[in-house]
């Protein structure tokens, strides 16, 4: 268990992040929360939230608010200000080390429960190939043994990118309850980091789905496939990609027709 001084510090940091971000979600945007009642029956630890990713920090902040409100049995609503003084402490989230180094708010997020990991595929804006650091896996496993962990399987804010197998390995190794989260509207409303507004007054959506039925003995690819489907980032949900593919097929069909004609 975390020592009392660490718990106190974390409580203060979560409160500070809360009072900064709550007015944004409450008055600057039209925030829609659904499915928070699915948090009722979750165990106190060993829960892995998996979600799609649109900014570095904004949706994580909203997830904290939803979880804090649920602690007070306030479902599908933002918490009242006084609730931020008594948050759920054992919440953690996985973040790339490079995204947490600069700025006050990223540092506050780190203190609020950030589990910093090294990306195996990207570093300082460049593609790399790096071996998995098993110490990172152990840190996530340790957090699961103490509470709830938020993870973004794609490891990027780009939509419909293939998920990283690391999350499937963690699921198979630690057998957490896996809860999918789907968010939308953040990319249009915030900058990439989720700290500054791009446009106010837009709709923000966060949906908490029921836990996924996981075959912990299944292969990594199948586990990852289930996760990506539930967070609506699999090929079936890529309407733009499907539309482009359809247009390309139609274009090729037209070209073939022209060739046949001549």
Specify the pLDDT at position 262: 18
Angle at 144 between CA 164 and CA 39, to 5 degrees: 95
pLDDT (mean) for 127-153: 85
pLDDT (mean) for 7-25: 93
Over 60: is that where the pLDDT of 161 sits? yes
Specify the pLDDT at position 127: 56
Over 60: is that where the pLDDT of 80 sits? yes
SS3 193: coil
Specify the pLDDT at position 249: 40
pLDDT for 197-228, tens place per residue? 999 999 999 999 999 999 999 999 999 999 99
Over 80: is that where the pLDDT of 240 sits? no
Please give the domain boundaries of the chain with CATH numbers for all domains: 4-231 (3.40.1130)
Over 70: is that where the pLDDT of 119 sits? no
Specify the pLDDT at position 96: 84
Residue 75 dihedral angles phi and psi, to the nearest 5°: -100, 145
pLDDT for 52-65, tens place per residue? 999 999 999 999 99
SS3 73: coil
Nearest to 47 by CA among 145, 142, 120, 138: 145
Cα dihedral 129, 131, 135, 136 in deg (nearest 10): 30
C-beta of residue 53 within 8 angstroms of C-beta of residue 95: no
Specify the pLDDT at position 178: 98
Percent of the chain with pLDDT over 70: 84
Cα dihedral 230, 120, 138, 168 in deg (nearest 10): 30
Specify the pLDDT at position 257: 33
What is the average pLDDT score of the chain?
Answer: 86
Query: pTM score > 0.75 for this model?
Result: yes
Specify the pLDDT at position 6: 79
């Amino acid at each position: 268990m975390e020592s009392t001084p660490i718990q106190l510090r974390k409580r203060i940091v979560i409160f500070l992040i809360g009072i900064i971000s709550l007015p944004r979600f409450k008055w600057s945007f039209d925030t829609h929360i659904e499915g928070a009642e699915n948090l009722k029956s979750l165990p106190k630890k060993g829960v892995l939230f998996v979600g799609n990713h649109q900014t570095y920090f904004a949706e994580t902040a909203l997830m904290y608010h939803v979880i804090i409100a649920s602690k007070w049995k306030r479902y599908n609503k933002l918490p009242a200000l006084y609730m931020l003084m008594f948050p759920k402490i054992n919440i953690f989230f996985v973040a790339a080390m490079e995204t947490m180094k600069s700025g006050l708010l990223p540092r506050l997020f780190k203190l609020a429960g950030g589990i910093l990991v090294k990306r195996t595929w990207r570093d300082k804006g460049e593609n790399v190939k790096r071996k998995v650091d098993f110490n990172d896996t152990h840190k996530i496993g340790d957090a699961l043994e103490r509470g709830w962990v938020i993870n973004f399987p794609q490891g990027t804010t780009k939509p419909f990118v293939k998920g990283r197998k690391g999350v499937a390995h963690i699921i198979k190794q630690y057998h957490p309850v896996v809860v999918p989260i789907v968010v939308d509207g953040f990319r249009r409303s915030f900058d990439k980091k989720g700290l500054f507004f791009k446009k106010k007054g837009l709709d923000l959506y966060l949906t908490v789905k029921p836990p996924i039925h996981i075959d912990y003995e299944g292969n990594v690819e199948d586990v990852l496939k289930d996760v990506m489907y539930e967070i609506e980032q699999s090929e079936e949900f890529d309407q733009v990609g499907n539309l482009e593919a359809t247009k390309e097929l139609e274009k090729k069909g037209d070209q073939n027709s022209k060739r046949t004609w001549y």
